[in-house]
Structure formats: C-alpha cells, structure tokens
C-alpha cells in the first residue's frame, strides 16, 4: 500500500470510529478529494464532518481550534505546508498557548496536516519543509509521515496528546509504498524501537555511522546507505522518528548504542540550513552523549536558499542521496 493511501485510509477510519472528528481544508471535497487526493472519499462518506473551506488558512486553523475547544477533534489540511505561515498566529499564539496559558490544562485535540517538500518543481513558495519555524513552541508537537509508521496510529496518538500537532507529509512520499514488517530491501531490515523506525543491515553488527532523518528523507537515506555499503564498505544504521519534536533519541536506552558506538551520527533534513531541526537534535546529542560520541554530529540540510523551480536548479538546492553520502564520507574521513 502506498503512503498516501495509508493516510487516506487512516482518515476514513478515524472519521468512522470517532463521531467527534472533523476534517477541514481547501478543495478537499469529492470528486476532487484534495490537491493530493489524501481526502478522497471522505466527504461522500462523512458529508457533515468533512468541510471544504474558503481560502483562509488562519480561519481554518482558528475554527478547528474552536471545535477542539468545544469538545470535538479536528484535522486540518493545509493544501501546501508553506501556507501554514498564514495560520501561524492561530497555531502558535492561540491553539498551542491555550493548552497551558489559562492555568489549568485545556485539551486541544487538533492536527494540522502540512504536505511539504520539493522535487516536484512547484517553486519557492510551494516546496518548503517548514519544521524549523515551528520548533520549540510550548504546547506544539511536530510529527512527520514516514513509510514505516501506520498513519492511523500516528493520528490517534496526536489527537490523544490533547495539544495541537503539525503533521508534515513529504509529497513525494505519497506515491511510495509503505514498508511491511521487517524488510526494507534485500540489504536492509527495519524494526520499531519506541516511536523510532530503525533500519539496519539485515545481518546486524555495530554500524560505522548512524543517520537520523524525518520520514520524507527515508528513500534518499537508504539509497545513500546502499552506495556506502557497496562502494565504500561502510555499514550504516538509520533512525526515523515519527515525532520530530520533542525528540530525544538519547533518552531511548535501546537507541543509545546506535548513537554512542558508531563512527558518526549524521542528521539530515529537507529544511533550509540555519536554525534547523537537525541542529536542535545535534545539540541534544552533544549534551547527552558528550564523551561517548566519536565525532561531532554532522548535519545535512537543503542549501540556505529559496527553492528554484527549474528541475536542475531545484536539484542543486535540495538534499539528494549523494548529499547524504558525501556528508557521511566527509564526516568519517574528512
């Protein structure tokens, strides 16, 4: 099953099982079913709770927060995650703050879905991955869709948190298959550890390096791992968390060996360089594992640049499998 289909089925199941769930967004009604078809079939089945909205991201997020305040649950689709900037006040100054700013905890079950990322030629304002702008907001959690984590479980978890969550969804991932249990390909296998999917060589052993990436980078990371293994004889491990923030991999005992007994930890992400999620993760690892880390954590981001539209220019700015491979080689041998 493809990731997009898994997400669509998760929304179907959520609406079916919980009559307090609403889905709001632009152009999400059938037969259109949303710009990326993730909401397909929802409005025909649940016409009362799947609501097409005007082009008003601020009001969509605000109305969703109002529904949550009144005891419902809301899932918002921001057509392109870039437009979450238009909802920033409602997310940061209202929904997230309301959880705690009234003295006693106010449950705010609200998920804001953000189709993100480039590699599709949509240009500077339709290709971004905006995690870094939402990092560290009290009362706000960030998640990302991965090909390992079943989206129904992820949605249930986010709504149960009782605080607003952003769900980043790499648009390229929608058409990729979900990984079933165990195998990634003939070289690598994966297993869940806490909320982190761990990808390793099927025959195990301490890795030469460990990658940490959000779900959208999984295929580029695995491609880099193949090349590093086959051409450079370097065995890697890959950690893919579902929840990006807060995220403390060194706090998961089973993950510590993969971080402390490896030649290099490298965090890769699609956001543009500077003030990034990866820097935040690296700072945590440096603090928690100082003295056991073999080297400083290496960081891979998109270039500190707008994301161009033309395919050859976009490729130069965004993270590729070769970017990750080079960072690992440079980190280990540079």
Partner 1 sequence: MNGLADEDLALLLLIRCFERKLLALFAQGELNGTTHTCLGQEYVPVSLRPLLRDSDWIFSNHRGHGHYLARFDDPEGLLAEIMGRKGAVCDGVGGSQHLRRGRYLSTGVQGQSLPVAAGVALHLKRHEPGALACAYIGDGTWGEGAVYEALNMAALWRLPLLVVVEHNGIAQSTPTSAQMAGTVAGRAAAFGVRHHALDDLDVAAVRREVAPLIEEARTDPGPLVLEFRTHRLGPHSKGDDVRPPGAPLIDWYAAYRAAHPAQSARIEAAAHDRVERVAAEVAARPPASWGGS
DSSP string, 46-106: -TTTEEE--S-HHHHHHHHHHHHHTT-EEEEE-SSGGGGGGGHIIIIIIIHHHTTTTSS--
The minimum distance between CB 88 and partner 1, in angstroms, equals: 11
Q: Based on the shown chain and the rule CB under 8 A, indicate whether residue 66 belongs to the binding site for partner 1.
A: yes
* Region 78-107 residues binding partner 1, contact defined as CB under 8 A: 89-90, 93-94, 97-98, 100-104, 106
- Rounded CA-CA distance 32/290 in Å is 52
Q: Based on the shown chain and the rule CB under 8 A, indicate whether residue 48 belongs to the binding site for partner 1.
A: yes
Stretch that binds partner 1, among 52-60, 149-157, 186-194, 283-291 (CB under 8 A): 52-60
Contact string 112-151 vs partner 1 (x = CB under 8 A)? --------------------------xx------------
Stretch that binds partner 1, among 62-70, 145-153, 192-200, 285-293 (CB under 8 A): 62-70
Question: Hey, which residues does 189 pair with through a beta bridge?
Answer: 183, 200
- Rounded CA-CA distance 147/150 in Å is 8
Dihedral sign (CA 26, 158, 150, 46): negative
Q: In which order are the strands placed within the sheet that holds 141-144?
A: 50-52, 21-25, 73-77, 110-116, 165-170, 141-144, 243-245
| Of the residues 16, 32, 56, 303, which one makes contact with partner 1 according to CB under 8 A | 56
The minimum distance between CB 55 and partner 1, in angstroms, equals: 9
The minimum distance between CB 106 and partner 1, in angstroms, equals: 7
| Of the residues 3, 23, 50, 61, which one makes contact with partner 1 according to CB under 8 A | 61
The minimum distance between CB 68 and partner 1, in angstroms, equals: 8
Q: Based on the shown chain and the rule CB under 8 A, indicate whether residue 237 belongs to the binding site for partner 1.
A: no
The minimum distance between CB 111 and partner 1, in angstroms, equals: 14
Q: Which is nearer to partner 1, 66 or 284 (CB)?
A: 66
DSSP letter assigned to residue 40: T
- Rounded CA-CA distance 326/224 in Å is 9
Q: Based on the shown chain and the rule CB under 8 A, indicate whether residue 69 belongs to the binding site for partner 1.
A: yes
Q: Based on the shown chain and the rule CB under 8 A, indicate whether residue 162 belongs to the binding site for partner 1.
A: no
The runs of H, that is alpha helices, within the chain are: 3-17, 42-45, 57-69, 88, 96-98, 131-134, 151-161, 218-232, 256-260, 277-289, 311-317, 321-333
Q: Which is nearer to partner 1, 68 or 238 (CB)?
A: 68
Q: Which residues contact 107 (CB under 8 A, 6 or more apart)?
A: 68, 99, 162, 163
Q: Which is nearer to partner 1, 69 or 313 (CB)?
A: 69
With vertex at residue 133, the alpha carbon angle to CA 211 and CA 130, rounded to the nearest 5 degrees, is: 60
How many C-beta neighbours within 10 Å does residue 332 have?
18
The minimum distance between CB 100 and partner 1, in angstroms, equals: 5
Q: Based on the shown chain and the rule CB under 8 A, indicate whether residue 46 belongs to the binding site for partner 1.
A: no
How many C-beta neighbours within 10 Å does residue 158 have?
24
The minimum distance between CB 23 and partner 1, in angstroms, equals: 13
DSSP H helix total and E strand total for the chain: 12, 13
| Of the residues 41, 58, 123, 162, which one makes contact with partner 1 according to CB under 8 A | 58
Binding site residues, partner 1, CB under 8 A: 48, 51, 53-54, 56, 58-72, 74, 89-90, 93-94, 97-98, 100-104, 106, 138-139
């Amino acid at each position: 099953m493809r990731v997009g289909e898994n997400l669509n089925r998760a929304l179907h199941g959520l609406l079916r099982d919980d009559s307090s769930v609403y889905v709001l967004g632009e152009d999400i009604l059938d037969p259109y079913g949303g710009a990326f078809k993730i909401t397909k079939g929802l409005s025909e089945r649940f016409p009362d709770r799947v609501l097409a909205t005007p082009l008003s991201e601020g009001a969509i997020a605000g109305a969703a927060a109002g529904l949550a305040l009144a005891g419902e649950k809301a899932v918002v689709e921001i057509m392109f995650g870039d437009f979450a900037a238009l909802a920033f006040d409602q997310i940061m100054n209202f929904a997230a703050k309301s959880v705690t700013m009234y003295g006693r905890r106010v449950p705010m079950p609200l998920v804001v879905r953000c189709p993100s990322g480039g590699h599709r030629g949509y240009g500077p304002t339709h290709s971004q991955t905006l995690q870094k702008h939402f990092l560290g907001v009290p009362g706000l959690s960030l998640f990302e869709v991965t090909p390992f984590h079943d989206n129904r479980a992820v949605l249930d978890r986010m709504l149960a948190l009782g605080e607003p969550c952003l769900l980043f969804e790499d648009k390229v991932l929608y058409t990729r298959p979900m990984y079933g249990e165990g195998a990634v390909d003939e070289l690598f296998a994966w297993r869940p550890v806490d909320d982190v999917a761990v990808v390793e060589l099927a025959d195990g052993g301490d890795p030469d390096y460990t990658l940490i990436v959000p779900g959208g980078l999984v295929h580029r990371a695995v491609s880099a791992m193949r090349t590093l293994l086959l051409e450079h004889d370097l065995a890697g491990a890959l950690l893919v968390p579902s929840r990006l923030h807060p995220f403390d991999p060194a706090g998961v005992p089973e993950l510590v060996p993969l971080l402390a007994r490896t030649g290099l930890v490298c965090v890769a992400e699609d956001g543009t360089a500077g003030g990034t999620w990866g820097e935040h993760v690296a700072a945590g690892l440096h603090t928690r594992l100082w003295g056991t880390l073999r080297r400083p954590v290496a960081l891979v981001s998109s270039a500190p640049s707008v994301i161009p539209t033309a395919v050859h220019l976009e490729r130069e700015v965004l993270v590729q499998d070769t970017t990750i491979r080079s960072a690992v080689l440079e980190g280990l041998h540079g």
